[in-house]
Amino acid sequence: MTRPVLVWSEIPVTDMQKACAFYAEVFGYKMEIDTSGPNPMAVLNAEMSGPAGNLYPGKPAVAGTGPTVHLALAPGDTVEAAGDRAEAAGGTVSGPLVEMPFGRWSYATDPDGNSIGLFEAKG
């Protein structure tokens, strides 16, 4: 049996409302802040049935030092359109467009400076 490589990711943010608005705008995710646990969190796209992740109140890594979480765009969406939305929502897009046989992506940062990949699957 093959096990998933990524089980869960957590992205630290300084302003939960602002971060939820950014990820909803860029990726079209349904974002809700859940305060039922010991810390507030917002699950990316309210999806917990497989590998996914969440936002939480925390201190982002210094720009250029943290991990990059590549997030899938919706089918039919493009890296270019997502990049435009990211910049309009307070993020940045950096570096060249990367193309591989399985898809393409651009590196970006959210408003807190977290490194993300805007990933468009091939096909």
pLDDT 10s digits, 47-74: 877 788 999 999 998 877 889 999 999 9
Is there a domain that residue 3 lies in?
no
DSSP string spanning 68-122? Answer: EEEEEPPTT--HHHHHHHHHHTT-EEEEEEEEETTEEEEEEE-TT--EEEEEEE-
Q: What's the pTM?
A: 0.92
Is there a domain that residue 71 lies in?
yes
42 pLDDT tier (thresholds 50, 70, 90): very high
Q: Domain total for the chain?
A: 1
Residue 88 token pair: 């309009």
pLDDT for position 113: 95
Is there a domain that residue 2 lies in?
no
Percent of the chain with pLDDT over 90: 79
Is there a domain that residue 44 lies in?
yes
pLDDT for position 76: 95
CATH code, 103: 3.10.180.10
For residue 3, the Cα-to-chain-centroid distance in whole angstroms is 22
Query: pLDDT digits over 10-29, tens only?
Result: 999 999 999 999 999 999 99
pLDDT for position 70: 94
Domain region containing 29: 8-121
Is there a domain that residue 50 lies in?
yes
pLDDT for position 123: 79
Is there a domain that residue 23 lies in?
yes
CA distance 60 to 91: 14
pLDDT for position 97: 95
Q: How many CA atoms are closer than 13 Å to the CA of 91, on its beta-carbon side?
A: 29
